[in-house]
Structure 1
């Protein structure tokens, strides 16, 4: 099944709703696409580069818990978490500047 622009617009509506309910979320690199390997067919990739505070803000806004977040070394350090909202999987990724931060990533309350 191919994804249409109409289908893709659902992802942009979700992002618009997040922006309206959390107006201070920092801008991120966003990619809305079809993802076959995850539960939801529609996926939004939200990427931040070197912004640990922004990552924590997005993490809280999306309701991604510490359990759903992992930090790995992959040509530098990367933190990533995901959640499914309204049938759309949102993958949040932080590319750390150098080393993984000492402070613990925020936990959604």
Structure 2
């Protein structure tokens, strides 16, 4: 009986704090700013195309959730526009494509 209780407590503790959960180190604001610039550069050089989060994440070698968070921040700053419809005009339910906003495209074109 004691063995069963110990096994139960052991498995219970495994579910409470899984060993696969690893705290990632914090990324500095300077590096986040550089990653955002890389995203904007990628979208500018491939404009007027719109890309899925997956494609952008592969290009900048970051995970999709982190990339999505940065894209949402860039959307709030009006540098990136979210495309919510496919080529047939049907709304996406779970995915989104991203493109450079007109404001950002004009600013980049002025620098070139």
TM-score normalised to the size of structure 1? 0.29
User: When you count helix as a share of all residues, which structure comes out higher?
Assistant: 2
Q: Highest CA radius of gyration, 1 or 2?
A: 2
Higher strand share: 1
TM-score (norm 2): 0.29
